[in-house]
Chains A and B, each alone.
Chain A
Amino acid sequence: MMNILVCVKQVPDTDEVRIDEKKGTLIRDGVPSIINPEDKIALEEAVRLKEEHGGKVTVISMGPPQAKTALLEAYAMGADECILLSDRAFAGSDTWATSYTLAQGIKNAGEFDIIFCGRQAIDGDTAQVGPQIAENLEIPQITYVKGLEVDGKKVKAKRALEDGYSVIETKLPVLLTVIDGLNKPRYPSIKRVVAAFKKEDCIKVWSTDDFEVDMAKLGLDASPTQVYDTFVPTNEKKGEILEGNEKEKVEQLLEKLKLEQVL
């Protein structure tokens, strides 16, 4: 019997995001919201473990109310219970504040043998929240997990390295961040979707009233990092035709590429 928790984030599908070249802004019309792909892999692994060892899968997420649809999808994939931490106080959180909030939510949700996270979210791309949650909970972590064996009180994980992998063993409880290749997530069950919408309480929403948090550690005001500036890099094609003989053209190209910091 295993008590498993999965952290899930609803993100815009960044593959679909387009840039308005003239205005230098993001076009967000019609960009669907999805469960972060690596979180889906994490959830799939959790559900498989539950199917193998018995137990329960709880899913937790921090986000605005619309993140509920992501949790419904998680339920349809096999989660038993879903918790959404949602409160205006969380707005503007950087990874530090986010992981504090999630860790507090997790502590309130129960004791878990394994906590799964996707390695990183496709909107933030930081890969920080998982390890920071582990630090908050004071449990070991293994990141870049691409293979997993669970045996009683221990896990043995295949951890991806740039040029291969290492096999790491550690004791439970542990936090694991997973990457593409660990498994292929199942399609959500339509039956469970219909059931989820009928069963009101499969998703709980917690505000700051519902679990213990230090208000001084929440949201924008508590975040050590801040956004100083943002800009949308446009991809307008330069269409620059290089002049000279072949040798000169090659030299010019190399110069251009150096300036662009491309190579």
Chain B
Amino acid sequence: MLKIFEDKCVGCGVCVTSCPFDALKMENDIAVVDTEKCTMCGICVKECKFDAMAINKEEKGEKQDISGYKGVWVLAEQRGNKLLDVSFELCSEGRKLADELETNLSIIVLGSDVKEEAKELFAYRADNVYIVEDEELKDYRTETYASVICDLINEFKPEIVLLGATHNGRDLGPRISARLNTGLTADCTKLEIDKERNILLQTRPAFGGNLMATIICPDHRPQMSTVRPGVMEKAEPDHSKTGEIEEIGVKIDSEDVNSQITDSGKIINLKSDLSDIDIFTTIKEIVKEAKASVNLEDADIIVSGGRGVGDPENFELIEDLASVLGGEVGASRAVVDEGWIEKPHQVGQTGKTVKPKVYFACGISGAIQHKAGMENSNLIIAINTDADAPIFEICDYGLVGDLKKIVPMLSKAFEELK
């Protein structure tokens, strides 16, 4: 419950204006909370300069015995028996966390034929790689994967479990965490260890990205997080690190597994017993579709060209940069009127209003009609020869120069990063 210390409250009202849920008001110059609106997000506690507010959590029910939980796990994901990039990203991140906790990093892979693929994980400095192979595990289904992984977690007791926030990860993560009665934090953008308590600090966006929250799961294990592909950095693989394969039956003696870390990690092949769970789900078919044209309003990255682009041929430079970045192409009204690109790409007063993570304004002056359509973009990068162009007043980073030189340089540089 939110507690307000009346003797400390000076009636400044900062908490009232900062509450996103309209749950606080002033009564007789003291803050008062509407418990029906309060979600205990904690913003007011943070905003109060007088320590007049606190959120107290009472202990309820039996505390889970979390002392035996050790180790960082990553649930790797495969499609068609090929590991997704996010698995390597998480392996890299998991390594950092495991090092800080001075513990092991283990990767779990489920599939029908993943042994060869799984070996690559040692190059990302996994200590152990557990694979579970079975025809029934070839493609992801909730019941099968949840059953096997929960059995493994209950057996090996990792303190942290990470998985990619892919469609499958977001299907599996909550199912597992509910079954294990533990906490799961979705779409984490940052993971750190709190050295004092040796717990995971999980930072993620909420409120459509308008708020960042750091979440902890202090009393339940494992602490589970999902992370979106492309958020964590993939380390440089070190192929000097290799692994040894060992086949062991299902009943694992925990001591065998948590032996000391050596340079060559072990791949442990577990035979899974799926005969006792009910499998209701059949996969009828899997279809790959070409990405339907994303509308500008949903794009994360937009590269926009204006009159400064000069002529329709140069507009290809804009399209190239967009393509390298996996983004969409935008345009000012001037170039649409000239016919260099079609109307659906127009951003501005008579075009679309967009809010991408990154907006490149190339050869765009930033007149009010265009500004109206893109000024709420998260990060604005402006490229223009005119140092006085109004676009530079609303950008985060401005490059005064010739876009015909700069844009291809950017395309090349981003291509090399990939």
User: Do A's and B's CB atoms come within 8 Å in the complex?
Assistant: yes
Residues of A within 8 A of B392 (CB): 239, 241
Docked complex Cα distance between A20 and B17 (Å)? 10
Residues of B within 8 A of A260 (CB): 379
Among A41-49, A107-115, A220-228, the one that faces the other chain is A220-228
Residues of A within 8 A of B195 (CB): none
User: Are B396 and A91 interface neighbours, CB within 8 A?
Assistant: no
A99 an interface residue at 8 Å Cβ cutoff?
Answer: yes
Closest residue of chain A to B375, judged by CB? Answer: A237
Among A75-83, A164-172, A183-191, A193-201, the one that faces the other chain is A164-172
Given contacts A140-B280, A230-B42, A235-B378, are A131 and B178 in contact (CB under 8 A)? Answer: yes
User: Are B219 and A224 interface neighbours, CB within 8 A?
Assistant: yes
Given contacts A161-B167, A240-B397, are A246 and B402 in contact (CB under 8 A)? Answer: yes
Given contacts A230-B212, A246-B402, are A240 and B288 in contact (CB under 8 A)? Answer: no
Q: In this complex, which of B60, B285, B376, B381 has the most chain A Cβ atoms within 10 angstroms of its Cβ?
A: B60
Within 8 A of B (CB), among A211-263: 216-217, 220-233, 235, 237-242, 246-247, 249-251, 253-254, 256-257, 260-263
When A and B form their complex, what is the total count of cross-chain residue pairs whose Cβ atoms lie within 8 Å? Answer: 286
User: Are A230 and B211 interface neighbours, CB within 8 A?
Assistant: yes
User: Are B184 and A95 interface neighbours, CB within 8 A?
Assistant: yes
Cβ 8 A contact of B208, one of A66, A99, A122, A162 = A122
Residues of A within 8 A of B288 (CB): 163-164
A106 an interface residue at 8 Å Cβ cutoff?
Answer: no
A15 an interface residue at 8 Å Cβ cutoff?
Answer: yes
Residues of B within 8 A of A136 (CB): 178
A104 an interface residue at 8 Å Cβ cutoff?
Answer: no
Among B235-243, B244-252, B342-350, B405-413, the one that faces the other chain is B405-413
Within 8 A of B (CB), among A114-154: 122-132, 134-136, 140-144
Cβ 8 A contact of A169, one of B36, B60, B282 = B282
Residues of A within 8 A of B55 (CB): 92, 220
Closest residue of chain A to B220, judged by CB? Answer: A224
Residues of B within 8 A of A122 (CB): 208
Docked complex Cα distance between A250 and B213 (Å)? 33
B171 an interface residue at 8 Å Cβ cutoff?
Answer: yes
Docked complex Cα distance between A246 and B393 (Å)? 20
- Minimal beta-carbon separation of A104 from chain B (angstroms): 13
User: Are B1 and A168 interface neighbours, CB within 8 A?
Assistant: no
User: Are B213 and A227 interface neighbours, CB within 8 A?
Assistant: yes
B308 an interface residue at 8 Å Cβ cutoff?
Answer: no
A53 an interface residue at 8 Å Cβ cutoff?
Answer: no
User: Are A239 and B393 interface neighbours, CB within 8 A?
Assistant: yes
Closest residue of chain A to B287, judged by CB? Answer: A164
A202 an interface residue at 8 Å Cβ cutoff?
Answer: no
User: Are B178 and A132 interface neighbours, CB within 8 A?
Assistant: yes
Cβ 8 A contact of A241, one of B184, B207, B379, B400 = B400
Mask for B179-202, Cβ within 8 A of A = 1, else 0?
101111111010000000000010
Q: A169-B283, A261-B231 are in contact. List 13 more A-B contacts (CB 8 A).
A: A91-B35, A128-B174, A135-B175, A140-B280, A221-B59, A226-B215, A228-B215, A229-B46, A230-B214, A232-B210, A233-B205, A239-B395, A246-B405
In the A-B complex, the 3 residue pairs with the smallest Cβ-Cβ separation, listed nearest first, are: A14-B208, A224-B183, A225-B183
